[in-house]
Amino acid sequence: MLKSRIATALIIAPLTLAAVFFLPPQAFASFMALIVLVAAWEWTAMMRLVSRTQRTVYILAVLFAIVVVQKTLPYFEQAIFFVASVWWLIATVLVMLYPRASALWCGRVSKGVVGFLVLVPTWAAMVYIRELTQGPWLIVYMFLLVWGADTGAYFAGKRFGKRKLMPRVSPAKSWAGVGGASVTVLLVTMTTQQHLHFSQNLSFGIYILALVLLFVSVVGDLTESMFKRQCGIKDSGSILPGHGGIMDRIDSLTAVAPVFALCLIFFDK
């Protein structure tokens, strides 16, 4: 399992970084849209849509939303990322209350709306951040936080993980894993801070921001786990050997990207 994860990561990471650094803006937007649409297809499984026609209609609806957001992003970027951030606050509560509050979101329509709130702002945030002065490097920093947190949590949890974090949602996650992830993101931030030249407003609080993004990444991961558990599935798909589906790989990123984008706007990066 670990060998498959590493092998897949060694293929995905260079391709993703190449897209971040070398694709022109519209091509990068299309690249991200493709990833989001594949994730949306996987999301329809968690909606329990079995008809190919229904699943296709949902994909087209997500694509239409991306097109609309692309045309309005320069005018409503802050509102889009704010709404997404509010959703992740709500998701935090839903995860903490699972399974007691599952009746609030277990319907197909509810899960369909959540899919829009999860996926479309992710696309918008990636496109927005990419266009900033240090956009590609900020995306790399975000990737390092997410990947570093995942790696730190895996090894710390494997070695010390006795006390479970949210056993009803994801039995494999532990408080030791959160500790390992915290150490990792702080080390990543310490290493990259001087190279990213964060604004004066952000530089002093960059470590706090890193921990906030870690918290959000955990919520993103747990939220997808909650939806999969409610549907009785282990992985969102099987397109990535050792990782499952696209949604399994980007679950934390879907939460981190819009929150990070909103913070960058607020601190005028």
Most confident range, picked from 33-42, 146-155, 243-252: 33-42
Sorted by sequence, the CB contacts under 8 Å of residue 238 that are 6+ apart come out as: 244, 245
pTM, two decimal places: 0.93
Given a contact cutoff of 8 angstroms between Cβ atoms, the answer to whether 28 and 260 are in contact is no
Given a contact cutoff of 8 angstroms between Cβ atoms, the answer to whether 5 and 13 are in contact is no
Res 49: pLDDT: 92
CA 173, CA 157: separation in Å to the nearest integer? 7
Three-state DSSP class for residue 133: coil
Sorted by sequence, the CB contacts under 8 Å of residue 261 that are 6+ apart come out as: 77, 81, 124, 125, 128, 129
- pLDDT band (50, 70, 90) for residue 26: very high
CA 219, CA 149: separation in Å to the nearest integer? 13
Res 199: pLDDT: 56
Given a contact cutoff of 8 angstroms between Cβ atoms, the answer to whether 247 and 236 are in contact is yes
- pLDDT band (50, 70, 90) for residue 269: low
Q: Which of 28, 91, 65, 82 is nearest to 224 (CA)?
A: 91
**Matching residue, tokens 């010390």:** 160
- Phi and psi for 252 in degrees, rounded to 5? -65, -40
CA 214, CA 209: separation in Å to the nearest integer? 8
What b-and-e string marks burial along 179-188, b requiring 16 or more CB atoms within 10 Å of the CB? bbbbebbbeb
Res 101: pLDDT: 87
CA 19, CA 127: separation in Å to the nearest integer? 12
Whether pLDDT at 24 is above 90: yes
Res 254: pLDDT: 97
Higher pLDDT, 212 or 197: 212
Mean of pLDDT values over 175-181: 95
Whether pLDDT at 100 is above 60: yes
Helices (H), 47-172: 52-97, 108-130, 135-160
- Measured CA to CA in angstroms, residue 62 lies from 72, 112, 124, 169, 200 at distances of 15, 10, 12, 27, 38
Residue-number span of the structural domain to which 187 is assigned? 2-266
User: In whole numbers, what is the pLDDT of the chain averaged over residues?
Assistant: 90
Number of domains the chain is built from: 1
Query: Token pair for residue 220?
Result: 């993103």
Q: Mean pLDDT check: name the lowest of 47-51, 202-206, 261-265.
A: 202-206
Element (H, E) at 171: strand 170-174
Whether pLDDT at 2 is above 60: no
Given a contact cutoff of 8 angstroms between Cβ atoms, the answer to whether 34 and 19 are in contact is no
Mean of pLDDT values over 98-123: 94
